[in-house]
Structure 1
Amino acid sequence: MTTIHEQDELHDAGADASYSTARARSARLQAMIDDPAAPGRDRLRVLTGDRPTGPLHIGHLFATLKSRVAFQDKGIDTFVLVADYQVITDRDDVGDIEDHVLGQVADYLATGIDPQRSTIFAHSAVPALNQLMLPFLSLVTEAELHRNPTVKAELAATGDRALSGLLLTYPVHQAADILFCHGTIVPVGRDQLPHIEQTRVIARRFNARYAEVFTEPDALMTDAAMLPGLDGTKMSTSRGNGIALSMTADETAARIRRARTDAQRRITFDPVGRPEIASMLTMIGLFTDREPGQIADEIGDGGAASLKRLLTDVVNDGLAAHRRRRAALIAEPGHLRSVLQDGNSRANAIADATLRDVREAMGMTY
């Protein structure tokens, strides 16, 4: 009999092996994406998206938005999900959901996502996608869902709050997002790998039980690190530590000016010991394509005031064109709704066809 410690070691070893396998598959995918003549490249389809819980911020810009434009510009079929149903997985109030959705679409377009070449759509507008949840739920166990890291982390963070059924089945909903459109590529970080593996398992089990309908998707591993907020913790506009793409130059300056630093005058890049300073240096580095340590050396004894002035300047300069485009788009809400409606129509056609295939495979076409 193995001990708990030995079981943990076996689990860690298995996770490391799975990660190595995923990295190898990811490298092959990236090579296909980068080679216009690669066999099978025309069958690639990316599925990615965001929850409209509030304004998108500069973390989204560098972690995901720019890469979506790159996929599109390389001719990869790209689906971008406005995951409005997922807003209610872990909260009772959706907030001003319409404003958040339209603002998200405006940021997509302002970044360069072209609705003629990419499909922007919303969960709630594609009924057949969500109907796939029913057969997919029959292919997973409660224990498998509880083992998902996102579910485990949320359960640990809820305290006395009960885990909602939607949050428990969140990995299955993600599988429906990917499989309804036959997505083959899902850009993720390492922490999201279990979600992709769950989707692969669901596709495999459906094909084995009924008929070959789904292709198992692959994770495209991203090395983009999570951009911390001004306080050194995870960037979130609701925490007041993020810089939203929708902020004005003055709002950005005020947010940075109020950010806490520390008592040391000399600026150094020390993510562990000085997380707030390190976060600001990292932001400057992303906007200027320079190393944070080099920036710290140049500021030196200029102190936090010089650091904040530089950060304000590079952020406002770097976002100026985006903000101009965004403001023009927000002024035309009818156009934003039209973009979303066109994408919804495209997504619905695919989802309806997939659901027909699923029902035929299951013998439910009466």
Structure 2
Amino acid sequence: MIIPTRYDLWMATLVFAFLQSVIALRFLAEALFSPRPQRSQEWPSVRVFLPVAGAAETLRDNLRRILNQAYPGTVRFVFAVPGRGDPAYRIAASFAENNSRVTVVASERTPVRSSGKAVDLVCAVAAAGPEADIYAFADADVEVPEKWLEELVAPLRDEAVEITTAAMLYRPSSFSVGGVMRLAWTAYGLPFFSWSGSVTGQSWAMRAAQFREMDIAGLWGEVLYEDLAVAAAARSAKKTVRFVHHAIGVTADASSLGEAVAVFTKWIQAYRFYDVRTWTLGIVTTALKIAAFLAAVIPPFDPRAAATILAADAILMTISIAAVRASVPDSFNRPGLPLPEFWAAAMSPFLVLAFAWNYGASMISRDVFWGRRRYHVTGPRSIAVFDRENS
């Protein structure tokens, strides 16, 4: 049996650092050189669906920012709410009262085989009214840039592009351990997300005709994560997904360390169920990082591998945030934690530990806690739903 030496481990981390840097530089190059929309062309009509629930402090501002989109074509908005008793219903309805482009759909349905969010979206799509050329989706906690919708829709005028998507970067309004950890986690993940060709519910769009052709509404009737289920269906059907840098949202969302880690664990669990390849790759790279850390603290001490990992992660997060800053510079003009690149890089050693916890938890449990429900997942389309208070 061949046992790797500390030198072998260091060489492995150097290879990893090189490949990771290539992915980061690819992300930066796309941000700097991706084509921008040309307004002279005809624009398709769009229906924007936003699942909203609860009464977060930022909800009104986020909805207002989405409604104020400078889109050159026809656009209507559908707010998908769990029910009239949800605090978000009154907020959503207040926008509909003064804006004929807004419709509020309360599903009033309890999920049985899928997430509450998926159920609400299915009801919203069914009740959307007159057909549109493009269906766009966004989470209500995303602080989208001014031309988010235009940027998201523009690539779909190319028939070769079938789905567009843009993730978000969390930039806390002030320093907190949870906020900075969330900043580092999202900054680290963005280049890999863009490279993987996945889809995020934070914002994405596709042609309405293809939405029906792929029976996305039917798919959502029995999945937990509507976005990764779409990504899996797109991979299976060999659909082209385009990551849109200029549609990235930069969101200031306060969270404690416990809340941040719980959210990340839920995301990692999502990949276990819907993108095993990416999940497995994450486990392998996290194991490599943990081995590098152990080599630095267990005799004979050898810090070279750990130093390589920390430097590579810090460089990647710095490049990632720089790419987002180049893509949506106005988003960084809003109040927020200064020097996000520095704070993200400073979290490098703690981020490794967070990933270890996330992946470890994802291997142990098939239960996902989301809102007031517990979801037991035994397969991508095999979900059992329980009320957390009664389970």
Normalised to the residue count of structure 1, the TM-score between the two structures is 0.30
More helix by share: 1
Normalised to the residue count of structure 2, the TM-score between the two structures is 0.29
